[in-house]
Amino acid sequence: MDPNWLPSTTAQATAALVAIVGGLLASRLVSLSSERTTLQRQLRMLITQRCRLNEQLEVVHRERVQVSQDWFREAHLERIVRERGTWTADELVSDFLPRGASVDEMTEYASTLMGLVDDAFLEINRVYNDV
Element (H, E) at 36: helix 5-82
- The count of domains in the chain is 1
Domain that holds residue 59: 13-130
Q: Is residue 7 part of a domain?
A: no
Does residue 21 form part of some domain?
yes
66 within a domain of the structure (yes/no): yes
20 phi, psi to nearest 5 deg: -65, -50
What is the DSSP code (8-state) at residue 86?
A: S
1: in domain? no
| 20 contact partners, CB below 8 Å, separation of at least 6 | none
Q: What is the pLDDT of residues 66-109, one digit of tens each?
A: 999 999 999 999 988 888 878 889 999 998 989 889 999 999 99
Nearest-angstrom CA–CA distance, 125 and 66: 30
| Residue 99 placed within a domain | yes
Q: What is the pTM of this model?
A: 0.63
pLDDT by residue (tens digit) across 13-70?
898 899 999 999 999 999 999 999 999 999 999 999 999 999 999 999 999 999 999 9
Q: What is the pLDDT of residue 131?
A: 57
Assess if residue 8 is contained within a domain. Answer: no
Q: Flag whether 5 is in a domain.
A: no
